[in-house]
Structure 1
Amino acid sequence: MLEFIVAVLSTSGYYYLGNQPSGLGSSFTIPAGTFSYLAVDFSDADGALQPGDRITGEWEEVYSFQFTYVGNHEGNVVVALDDDYYFFTPSEDPYPDGATITPDTTSTFVFCFAAGTAIATPSGKVAVEALKPGDLVMTTDGRAVPAIFIGRQTLAAIFVPEARSLVRVAAGALGDGLPRRDLVLTGDHALMLDGVLVNAGALVNGTTIARVPRGALPSRFTVYHVETAAHDIILAEGVPAETYMEARGRKRFDNHAEYVPPPGGDRRIEHPAPRVTAPRQLPARLRCLVTGSPLHDRSRRVA
């Protein structure tokens, strides 16, 4: 039987407590007032999720519990915890009280992978998933620094609400032909633009920089983080982008146990550049990105 981990994340998506008196595969009803608003995400999930598989759950790295996967309903997941049954969905609108859920217990819940961002190295561009600790990556100031950890986090598209989906920066959207190819990254991953670290989510304009629709994501995909000894700025598809900054705990990475601290221990010195996390914080010279206007003049170049 496969083992999976479910990690509970921040507030986006719903889960419901229901009852299922007749065993796996039968319908159950959502009683009034039993749903809560949060998000869940698969980690360490290899292969396909099938009815009966056991799932280890973790809440904010404090409380662990186990589910049994029951089945899926319209692309959403039903699991059992002891004698209670839970229905997880990233829907922005709650199911009504009294809704009846009938899980499909015959289909395998299949996962797929996504990767490919090109990272600049002394020997040329390398796909991020091909990097390993010790490999050199190029910083924007011309240094070749070793990666000390390549974090890998696996996500399931069904648990990624549209508002928190990956961000796609279209080729050329930042001006000067950058990025060289479409750059896809998480919304809280920052790019260095005009000396400011700007979270990708703050740049979304719905056209040249947009959230990837949930339906366009693979059922299961993987995102990668490159960590160096310092909080450096490297090149991803030619665009200056931050390396991983340890702040929220490594346990969210599938391969966190592979991390080996550098000599002298961990460093948590954040890059001194100011950070923009919301569109309203964008400097005036960068607001044209939000409106979908590329940065053409040299006074608005990236880096």
Structure 2
Amino acid sequence: MADPRFTEIKYRGPGTQDFIEVSVDAGTDVSGIQIVVYHPNGGVRSVNGVGNFDDTMFGQDVYSLDAAVHKNGAIALVVDGVVIDFVSFDSVVTPTTGPAAGMSSTQIGSTGNNQNESVQLDENGNWVAGPLNEGTIPCFLIGTKIATRQGEVAVEDLRPGDQVMVRDGGFAPLRWIGSYTTDARGQAFEKAAPIKIPRGAMGKGQPSRDLYVSPNHRIWMRDASFEMLFEAREVLIPAKQLVGWCGVTQVNYVPQPEYFHFLFDRHQIVLSDGLLTESFHPGEVTLDQFQHEARDELLRVFPDLMDVATSGKTARRCLKSYEAQLALDAKSAA
């Protein structure tokens, strides 16, 4: 069994947005793992567990801890009282107390003054600075068939103005479509690898063929039990939360996934390979993930998106991870 490890750290502030990500072998008991945050002067700032469980990806359970970390401070990963990793950013720290007392931190790099970047562990075990790795923009893998007024059209062949079938209102014109190819590797690839929803997994013809979407792409679901649980009969669930349910898997055999995402005047539910899923819904996190050229193009079409509050409501209630599990349990029991 491999040792737990830090995989992503955001420390530049503001403090309420800093976080520490830890990965462990799937199924590992994390009760004996601590994250100790140090002040620049070597004193202990906080002692914490591993935080909240986020996901299991490629045999690794991923946890994230919201914790303020000073740019000249340090953090120690402690397992059963033994320090297995001790890192810092803009300077070396030598603690005077706590489990890392007397040790000197390993300086892993700096994000400069950029509050929208973190340091991330790559596939070679090296730390690199880059944009926050919140997962992927919600989108469809190339080849996905989208229902339109003209019939099914491959997502890569859609154009602005095309009339796309939507759950609310018949058809709606596309306003914008974009794409990107990810060549991420290591932990970053694990967050970008497509989710496969097998043919018929959600019911007859749902989807009509194997559907591949990015991990954060939300899938429409409906059940009478949801009224009591969420005060909504219809909800949206991130595809990554479906992994392990009805044959849904995350696949690693698409080395450079090419993803497409499209936008309407408002958030919509569309028919993709026979399954109801969401269109792109802009938000603070996803806009920051776009490359500058694509982001600029999108903002030319929708200048109001500079103010995230104008992006509008989602078409249905979007469930959090723990809510998604409740929904799947309810569906399975039905």
Bin of the TM-score, shorter chain as denominator length: 0.5 to 0.7
Please point out which of 256, 271, 276 is paired with 1:235. 271
Name the counterpart of 1:150: 177
Return the offset for 1:242. Answer: 1.0
Name the counterpart of 1:253: 290
What is the distance in 1 between the residues matched to 2:151 and 2:328?
30
Name the counterpart of 2:151: 124
Q: How does 1:10-89 map to 2 (within 5 A)?
A: 33-35=106-108, 89=122
What is the distance in 2 between the residues matched to 1:135 and 1:90?
40
Shift of the 196–35 alpha-carbon distance from structure 1 to 2, 3 Å rule, reads same
**1:33 partner amino acid:** T
Name the counterpart of 1:271: 314
Return the offset for 1:125. Answer: 0.8
**1:191 partner amino acid:** I
Unaligned ranges ≥5, structure 2: 1-8, 11-18, 24-86, 89-103, 127-140, 223-233
**2:283 partner amino acid:** A
Name the counterpart of 2:168: 141
Please point out which of 229, 238, 244 is paired with 1:205. 244
Is the 2:263–2:280 Cα contact (8 Å) retained in structure 1?
yes
Aligned residues: 206
Name the counterpart of 2:215: 187
Greater helix fraction, Structure 1 or Structure 2: 2
What is the distance in 1 between the residues matched to 2:282 and 2:146?
20
**2:106 partner amino acid:** G
What is the distance in 1 between the residues matched to 2:113 and 2:248?
33
Deviations 1:231-276 (A, max 9, x none): 11111111111111110253533423322335x9454112252222
Is the 1:192–1:198 Cα contact (8 Å) retained in structure 2?
yes
Name the counterpart of 1:287: 329
What is the distance in 1 between the residues matched to 2:319 and 2:120?
35
What is the distance in 1 between the residues matched to 2:198 and 2:115?
34
Query: What TM-score do you get using the length of structure 1 for normalisation?
Result: 0.56
What is the distance in 2 between the residues matched to 1:271 and 1:200?
16
Shift of the 235–287 alpha-carbon distance from structure 1 to 2, 3 Å rule, reads same
* 2:239 pairs with 1:177: no
What is the distance in 1 between the residues matched to 2:120 and 2:238?
32
What is the distance in 1 between the residues matched to 2:210 and 2:301?
33
Return the offset for 1:182. Answer: 0.9
Question: Looking at both structures, which has the greater relative contact order when contacts are Cα pairs under 8 Å and sequence separation is at least 6?
Answer: 1
- 1:116 partner SS: coil
What is the distance in 2 between the residues matched to 1:87 and 1:268?
29
Moved over 6 A (4+): 8-14
Unaligned ranges ≥5, structure 1: 1-7, 18-30, 39-56, 64-85, 96-113
Is the 1:168–1:184 Cα contact (8 Å) retained in structure 2?
yes
Is the 2:194–2:257 Cα contact (8 Å) retained in structure 1?
no
What is the distance in 2 between the residues matched to 1:125 and 1:13?
42
Shift of the 272–140 alpha-carbon distance from structure 1 to 2, 3 Å rule, reads closer
Percent of pairs with identical residues: 25
Shift of the 183–126 alpha-carbon distance from structure 1 to 2, 3 Å rule, reads same
Return the offset for 1:285. Answer: 5.9
What is the distance in 2 between the residues matched to 1:265 and 1:143?
26
Shift of the 239–269 alpha-carbon distance from structure 1 to 2, 3 Å rule, reads same
Deviations 1:76-107 (A, max 9, x none): xxxxxxxxxx996247xx57xxxxxxxxxxxx
Deviations 1:35-80 (A, max 9, x none): 47x9xxxxxxxxxxxxxxxxxx9966579xxxxxxxxxxxxxxxxx
